Amino acid sequence: MKDVDGNHPIRPRATPVLQEFAGEGLRTLALAYKDLDEDYFHQWKRRHHEASTALEDREGRLDQLYEEVEKDLLLLGATAIEDKLQDGVPQTIEQLSKADIKIWVLTGDKQETAENIGYSCNLLQEEMNEIFTVSGNSPDAVREELRNARNAMKPDAVDSVFPSERSLVKGPKVLMDEEVNGEHGLVINGHSLAYALEHGMELEFLRTACMCKAVICCRVTPLQKAQVVELVKKYKRAVTLAIGDGANDVSMIKAAHIGVGISGQEGMQAVLSSDYSFAQFRFLQRLLLVHGRWSYLRMCKFLRYFFYKNFTFTFVHFWYGFFCGFSAQTVYDEWFITLYNLMYTALPVLGMGLFDQDVNDAWSFQHPRLYVPGQLNLYFSKRAFFKCALHSCYSSLVLFFIPYAAVQDTVRDDGRDVADYQSFALLTQTCLLFAVCIQLGLEMSYWTAVNTIFVLGSLTVYFAVTFTMYSNGMFLVLPSAFPFIGTGRNSLNQPNIWLTILLTSTLCVLPVVTYRFLLIQLCPTINDKVMFKVRQTKASPPPPTRRARIRRTSSRRSGYAFSHAQGYGDLVTSGWFLRRPAAPRPLGPAHAGRATTGFSPMGRSAGYSPTGRPQNAKAPGVEVTSLQMYRTISDAAL
């Protein structure tokens, strides 16, 4: 790039000006031009068309043509555009950082502009121990800078990315997190990032970057943005989210697990390629800390409850097989097996999956650390699945053997026997439905009218369907399809049957209640602490509001604080407020010459002589006629 006028070069002046603009966070742009011959342009246009329609090495041929024409340009000048941050960006970055979300900025801005934006949005902070800058122009220089930064953060760090014991694990390797002392930041340029993303150095870059609290990659291309996202997905096994507002962010948005587009002046390309879209960056904290956390919590509860109710339902058949000789006879009624997941337990778990929440959105914003248990897979994991299966096995034992012992050799009040297969099947399936409904109630943290209707409605529908299908009319219509004639009214009218249902349901949920009580008392989680604080806030009444008293005085406001008359100017400027007493007390001879005291609303006092003249007044020669906000003081002697 050359100067337009050789006698007055502007390139030496433009470079520091551009750096100054970039340091202030402005978007800089250098303007240049070049005169092209018409024959050369038509020839270049033809080659450009051939390269753009080529099937092999299209990008390389186009880059070569662009480099050919973008030479020997004449510099015209430089411009700077102010691109302000949206409202709430620093607060959003701070909230996401408190939620232990790693934030990387991939931008095409210059290094000075990117660093200024990092400080303005609280991504980079002055309290950080050190901010490392990687700007090497060769692979060896970049590798050396990355290792120096890693050794500064962790002096005892080994050069090997994967320890020897991890290399024996089959399958793709996972880069483990490393703890460092203090907080650090990393800034890397685009040309250095190109070397850092090479096959032999990508793990060095990722390891060093993951040890930093904030990472800024400046002067990066759209392809490099996607490569950084793919690198994190491959070796960190982390869930990635990419957010952008321009066409150069489309590849990054598509590469991430979750793509978020911001609609604005940059166009709609990012919005059309994203999974979620909104107009302001600050809405990201509601998407993650509120709706994202609620959705993950509901899904985990849904899975745990779904496995529990179906495992319990199935394990009862396993215990029944030892008593029926494994003859494939079912322990439940055939209609109950058909309607169990279709009608009896479908709506309650659906209501929990749609409406449940541990705390509301306001408490979620106040405590961003509530997001951390989801990152650690504490809500649903292999361990949680094993505990769910163990609980189901225990519940199935209770649901089978307690009703079996209750109906064995049992007779009604009239002497008739109730120890038959149909009565046992009805009792077992009723206990099962009550147990899973109570377990669902323990899982839910937020009850609504819809959840209540779903749970109570499921039990109501169960008894309505049971008495209908076990009636004489249904048996007369289809005797083979409804063999449990009269079982409902003959069994459910016995007190011992209902006591068995109560005992069985209580024993099924008793271990869960005991475990949760001990867990909250001995080792409470962040959710338990916040929910306890919410209950305390609801239980304690709000403090009574004090009604402000308006103190009425006889003072009159004066529109003139000072004038050209003689008065008590020094007293006015000294800050003492004077107020004439309403009725001066008569003084006796013994008190002649002694001053009375009048109090102002500000808690200060001033002395008065019996004639109304302030004792601390100086000789005439001071300008004042009135005190603003108080009664005018005058003396005829003046």
Q: Do the domain assignments include residue 165?
A: no
Containing 310, the helix (H) or strand (E) segment is: helix 293-321
* Same domain as 394, residue 253: no
Which of 78-87, 415-424, 470-479, 497-506 reaches the highest mean pLDDT? 497-506
Percent of the chain at pLDDT > 90 equals 44
* Same domain as 438, residue 308: yes
* Same domain as 490, residue 399: yes
* Same domain as 216, residue 143: yes
Q: Does 108 carry a binding-site annotation?
A: yes
Q: What is the CATH number of the domain that holds 100?
A: 3.40.50.1000
Domain's final residue, options 82, 103, 136? 82
- Dump pLDDT digits (tens) for 28-63: 888 888 888 899 999 999 999 999 998 888 888 898
Q: Do the domain assignments include residue 571?
A: yes
| pLDDT above 80 for 631 | no
Q: Does 219 carry a binding-site annotation?
A: yes
- Dump pLDDT digits (tens) for 120-158: 888 998 889 899 999 989 999 999 999 999 988 887 766
Alpha-carbon distances of 33 from 28, 72, 592, rounded to whole Å: 17, 9, 97
Q: Do the domain assignments include residue 293?
A: no
The residue among 477, 496, 475 whose CA lies nearest residue 487 is: 475
Secondary structure class of 606 (helix, strand, coil): strand
Domain's final residue, options 67, 82, 97? 82
Q: State the Cα–Cα distance between residues 163 and 161, nearest whole angstrom.
A: 7
Query: 103 forms bridges with which residues in the sheet?
Result: 214
Q: Does 225 carry a binding-site annotation?
A: yes
* Same domain as 238, residue 200: yes
Looking at residue 484, what is its pLDDT?
A: 74
Q: Does 109 carry a binding-site annotation?
A: yes
Contact partners, residue 114, CB within 8 Å, separation at least 6: 105, 107, 187, 216, 218
* Same domain as 93, residue 78: no
Q: Does 245 carry a binding-site annotation?
A: yes
pTM to 2 decimal places: 0.73
Question: Helices (H), strands (E): how many in the chain?
Answer: 26, 14
What's the rounded mean pLDDT across residues 52-76?
87
* Same domain as 114, residue 73: no
Looking at residue 277, what is its pLDDT?
A: 93
- DSSP class of residue 266 equals T
The parent domain of residue 569 ranges over 555-638
Q: State the Cα–Cα distance between residues 289 and 372, nearest whole angstrom.
A: 10
* Same domain as 217, residue 144: yes
- Dump pLDDT digits (tens) for 232-285: 999 988 999 999 988 899 999 999 999 999 987 777 889 999 999 998 999 999
First to last CA, the chain: 83
* Same domain as 238, residue 207: yes
Looking at residue 162, what is its pLDDT?
A: 52
| Residue 147 contacts residue 132 (beta carbons within 8 Å) | no
* Position with higher pLDDT, 469 vs 207: 207
| pLDDT above 60 for 15 | yes
* Position with higher pLDDT, 597 vs 501: 501
Looking at residue 440, what is its pLDDT?
A: 94
Domain's final residue, options 538, 571, 603? 538
Q: Do the domain assignments include residue 172?
A: no
* Same domain as 359, residue 265: no
* Same domain as 324, residue 254: no
* Same domain as 277, residue 152: yes
Number of domains in the chain: 4
Q: Does 493 carry a binding-site annotation?
A: no
Looking at residue 457, what is its pLDDT?
A: 94
Q: Do the domain assignments include residue 259?
A: yes
Q: Do the domain assignments include residue 410?
A: yes
Q: If DSSP states are collapsed to H, E and C, what string results for 143-197?
A: HHHHHHHHHHHCCCCCCCCCCHHHHCCCCCCCCCCCCCCCCEEEEECHHHHHHHC
Q: Do the domain assignments include residue 171?
A: no
Looking at residue 246, what is its pLDDT?
A: 86
Q: Do the domain assignments include residue 162?
A: no
